[in-house]
Amino acid sequence: MPETQSIPKCPEIKTALPGPKTKALIEQDQRYISPSYTRGYPLAIARGHGAMVQDPDGNWFLDFCAGIAVCSTGHSHPKVVSAIQEQAANFLHMSGTDFYYHAMADLAERLNELSAGRTPKKIFFGNSGTEAIEGAIKLARYHTGRPGIISFFRSFHGRTFGAMSVSASKSIQKSHFSPLVPHVYHAHYPYSYRPFFGAQSPEEEAEACLDYIRNYLFKMIAQPSDIAAILVEPIQGEGGYVVPPKNWLPGLRALCDEYGILMIADEVQSGVGRTGKMWACEHDNVEPDIMTSAKGLASGLPLGAIIAKADVMNWKPGCHATTFGGNPVACAAALATLDLVENGLMQNAECQGTYLQSQLQALVNQSNILGQVRGRGLMVGLEVIQSKTGNQKAPELRDKIVDACFEKGLLVLGCGENTIRFSPPLTIDSEDVDTAVAILKQVIAENGG
């Protein structure tokens, strides 16, 4: 465990980037690692503490991406580390598919208590977001006996076949992998900054999106009685951190209820306190039939969950299982994570998120190349545009800004075509926000402002 005194509060860049040790690591990596990964800038990590990470050359960075919204409690939170150590010293694995242990049952009980809505839930554990989606699709088909799934343009649900088939984020993710899972239909998600239907208000755009499903998809493509589920991200993640208007999720819920369709909320990125509530769908008082969780759930250990209404999760023994899912060490990390999220971090996410958005809004007001800031809690997106006359996307400029932030010690990632995403650990304070915004401000000024 690193000494807290030796952890700086602000970035410290001491070498040219990447430094020599990082360069050597990247060369080794490139020799042996699959070229399919999407590495942007050359960051390597040697250690992390809270929101600060150090590379092998001794440079310190302020981390506003948290391993893609995963390190919810910050890097190596002492309470999470000690829960992991304690469980690891007891036993590492016993396959929850075949046997019983406390960490798995305790975590399921806890997720039932913390789940959105009041209906009792049952939980299935896997190892990742994509696996949770895969299982959710199987469960929806099993429960309803129907084949179809409706999901949305710009959505991202993972890389395995079912999850890839329902995603519609970037076509390269599907190219060369056909045939995909059939009976998947993509519909429009309300994106008020760039409304597909050109409606006057965000709420009217959401109505137009609902109307498309009802009057086009159901009438011309697939009968509602053939649809098992509508799968939706309560806030779109990889697609650009798109926050829908308040009537969207309730509208989908009503549509599902009308036709006996299950509503699946993919909370893999938006869940576990990131948006200021435990689950993003709670902002709109919607209880899904099935919810998926992963990423921030275990602070960095691999864990995914399907959280379904108990009467929906009615599949029989042998229908679905996995060797590693619900691993005891990952479950122990999740229990410690939920303690921290419930007792302060969720509230901090709301408070720091509001502050971050207000500081970014001030930058947007002054800048010709920043179009819109949006988000909930610490799930915040900032669109980079060519100029304020029109809002044409500027994907290359966005990438340049993300790279320039890295050079100055701020770690952010892109999402969507032209959005900068801010998904820091939920532990950050207002000084961290000020540091991040100051770096971004300088970078924006250096890039035509």
Ligand X SMILES: Cc1ncc(COP(=O)(O)O)c(C=O)c1O
Q: Shortest Cβ distance from residue 270 to ligand X (Å)? A: 7
CB nearer to ligand X: pick between 270 and 357: 270
Tell me: does residue 156 bind ligand X (CB under 6 A): yes
Quick one: which segment of 14-22, 153-161, 330-338, 346-354 binds ligand X (CB under 6 A)? 153-161
CB nearer to ligand X: pick between 48 and 304: 304
Q: Count residues contacting ligand X (CB under 6 A)?
A: 15
Quick one: which segment of 55-63, 135-143, 155-163, 223-231 binds ligand X (CB under 6 A)? 155-163
Q: Shortest Cβ distance from residue 273 to ligand X (Å)? A: 15
The pair of three-digit structure tokens given for residue 339, joined into one six-digit string: 């303690």
Specify the residue for token string 């250096």.
446
CB nearer to ligand X: pick between 195 and 296: 296
Peptide bond into 179 cis (omega under 30): yes
246 φψ region: left (φ > 0), alpha (ψ -120 to 50), beta (else): alpha
Question: 262: part of which helix (H) or strand (E)?
Answer: strand 262-266
Instruction: Give the contact letters, 281-320, x = binds to ligand X (CB under 6 A), - = no.
Output: -------------x--------------------------
Interface residue with ligand X among 48, 74, 135, 158 (CB under 6 A) is: 158
Cα 351 to the chain's mean position, in Å?
Answer: 19
Q: Shortest Cβ distance from residue 172 to ligand X (Å)? A: 15
Residue (of 180, 252, 249, 263) closest to 214 by Cα position: 252
Q: Shortest Cβ distance from residue 252 to ligand X (Å)? A: 16
d(CA 1, CA 193): 45
According to CB under 6 A, which residues from 191 to 250 bind ligand X?
A: 233, 237-238
Q: Shortest Cβ distance from residue 160 to ligand X (Å)? A: 8
Instruction: Give the contact letters, 332-371, x = binds to ligand X (CB under 6 A), - = no.
Output: ----------------------------------------
Residue (of 135, 179, 178, 175) closest to 157 by Cα position: 135
Peptide bond into 35 cis (omega under 30): no
Residue (of 157, 67, 169) closest to 413 by Cα position: 67
CB nearer to ligand X: pick between 170 and 214: 170
Quick one: which segment of 156-164, 279-287, 322-330, 436-444 binds ligand X (CB under 6 A)? 156-164
Quick one: which segment of 39-47, 150-158, 311-319, 339-347 binds ligand X (CB under 6 A)? 150-158
Q: Shortest Cβ distance from residue 363 to ligand X (Å)? A: 26
Q: How many CB atoms lie within 10 A of CB 40?
A: 12
Q: What is the DSSP letter of 295?
A: G
CB nearer to ligand X: pick between 52 and 168: 168
CA distances (Å), 10 to each of 148, 310, 348, 427, 439, in order? 50, 47, 20, 15, 11
Residue (of 406, 394, 136, 441) closest to 265 by Cα position: 136
Instruction: Give the contact letters, 102-141, x = binds to ligand X (CB under 6 A), - = no.
Output: --------------------------xxx--x--------
Q: How many CB atoms lie within 10 A of CB 215?
A: 10
CB nearer to ligand X: pick between 297 and 437: 297
Q: Shortest Cβ distance from residue 146 to ligand X (Å)? A: 22
Q: Shortest Cβ distance from residue 163 to ligand X (Å)? A: 6
Q: What are 293's strand-pairing partners?
A: 305
- Phi then psi for residue 65, to 5 deg, are -125, -20
Separate counts of helices (H) and strands (E) for the chain? 12, 15
Closest-approach residue to ligand X (CB)? 129
Contact between 394 and 385 under an 8 Å Cβ cutoff? The reply is: yes
CB nearer to ligand X: pick between 130 and 348: 130
Interface residue with ligand X among 77, 157, 283, 421 (CB under 6 A) is: 157
According to CB under 6 A, which residues from 250 to 269 bind ligand X?
A: 266, 268-269
Instruction: Give the contact letters, 371-410, x = binds to ligand X (CB under 6 A), - = no.
Output: ----------------------------------------
Q: What are 379's strand-pairing partners?
A: 376
CB nearer to ligand X: pick between 236 and 352: 236
Three-class SS state of 27:
helix
Contact between 297 and 131 under an 8 Å Cβ cutoff? The reply is: no
Residue (of 296, 301, 303) closest to 427 by Cα position: 296
CB nearer to ligand X: pick between 249 and 385: 249
243 φψ region: left (φ > 0), alpha (ψ -120 to 50), beta (else): beta
According to CB under 6 A, which residues from 61 to 90 bind ligand X?
A: 68
The pair of three-digit structure tokens given for residue 61, joined into one six-digit string: 């960075």
Chain residues that interact with ligand X, rule: CB under 6 A: 68, 128-130, 133, 156-158, 233, 237-238, 266, 268-269, 294
